[in-house]
Amino acid sequence: MGIPKIHPPITNASGPLSVTEEELHALGRSGAGAVVTKSMTHCPREGNPEPRLAPRINHDVGSINSMGLNNLGYKRYAELVPALKQHGKPVIASVSYAPCGHDLPLEEQYLVIAQALEEAGADMLEINLSTPNLTGIPIATDPENVRRVMEPLKRAIRIPMSVKMPPYNNSLALFEEVASLLVELEVDAVVTMNSEPNALDIDLKTRTKLIRPRGGYGGLGGPAILPIALGEVHRFYRYFRDRGAEIPVWGCGGIATPEDAVKHFLAGASAVQVGTALLWEGPGIFERLWGGVERWLREHGFSSVEEIIGTVRDA
């Protein structure tokens, strides 16, 4: 089964404003090309203690979060899917894992959730292998974990599945290992990147850390990570292209303006996701971003995003 058409090729990133029924319907009504749910787990979760989100850090360069997988639990999201599909755009269910009072192993939790959401009619699954906020070490930092989660899913699930990856900029050997595994596993798309793990910021007036969980460390998102995300997108794009693997790369990280989105497309993204800036601006952001991307394309003599994907030139 092919990937659903995402038009415009701009969606929310899983997490911000995508937890509750109301938030998901607001995304359905917005100019986003798809609705992506908050990462869901086997059990409903309240998430980490507050304060767990610093939405605007250090001159608005980004956000730091340690939400701790606050979500309604997969059964509730499965119930919501049919109504969300009424908005006429793909519903992408983000699937994750957290320990939850029983001993169902990691890969079985992913499988149970994925099967339920497929049955509920989700158009696609985004397998989140990269939350920084459980242990500080994203699951996909270990290629064995990627195999352990994805092999059973590939055997059982018929709808398309993307994988949401952490940044690999500080370990290119690990990147190669994981990228080759994703080719072998024939994933349907790669979403890169999740928030940059283990960031910290400080309020100078009170001399306190901005968030409480995990010693004040959380995932960094927003404009601060744009260049890192572009590096991740381009690296995956080239890796797949050079090996003839037709795996689309969806860019996520640091998009707050139409020009940021255009940079992601030039680096190789065929769709993009918006997290921190969605939090700042609300679901109206999708029309602003897409309007600006269309204007940029027109002004530069292009008639579609497809014409610019991966066309960045060497300096």
In the complex, which residues of this chain contact ligand RRO (CB under 6 A)?
A: 15, 39, 65-69, 96, 128, 130-133, 194-195, 219
Q: How far is the CB of 136 from ligand RRO (least distance, A)?
A: 11
Nearer to ligand RRO, 49 or 291 (CB): 49
**Measuring CA to CA, how many Å separate 41 from each of 73, 96, 107, 115, 242?**
5, 5, 12, 13, 36
Alpha helices in 93-185 (DSSP H): 106-120, 143-156, 172-185
Helix (H, G, I), strand (E, B) or coil at 236: helix
Q: How far is the CB of 167 from ligand RRO (least distance, A)?
A: 12
Nearer to ligand RRO, 192 or 195 (CB): 195
Exposed/middle/buried for 73, CB within 10 Å: 0-12, 13-18, 19+? middle
Contact present, 94 and 126 (Cβ < 8 Å): yes
Contact present, 156 and 162 (Cβ < 8 Å): no
Contact present, 263 and 292 (Cβ < 8 Å): no
Residues 6+ apart with CB under 8 A from 30: 283, 284, 286, 287
R_g of the chain computed on alpha carbons? 18
CA distance 113 to 100: 13
Q: Where are the beta strands (DSSP E) in the chain?
A: 10-12, 35-36, 53-57, 62-65, 91-95, 124-128, 161-165, 189-192, 196-199, 202-203, 208-209, 218-221, 249-252, 269-274
Contact present, 32 and 10 (Cβ < 8 Å): yes
Exposed/middle/buried for 211, CB within 10 Å: 0-12, 13-18, 19+? buried
Q: How far is the CB of 38 from ligand RRO (least distance, A)?
A: 7
Structure tokens at 273: 């996701």
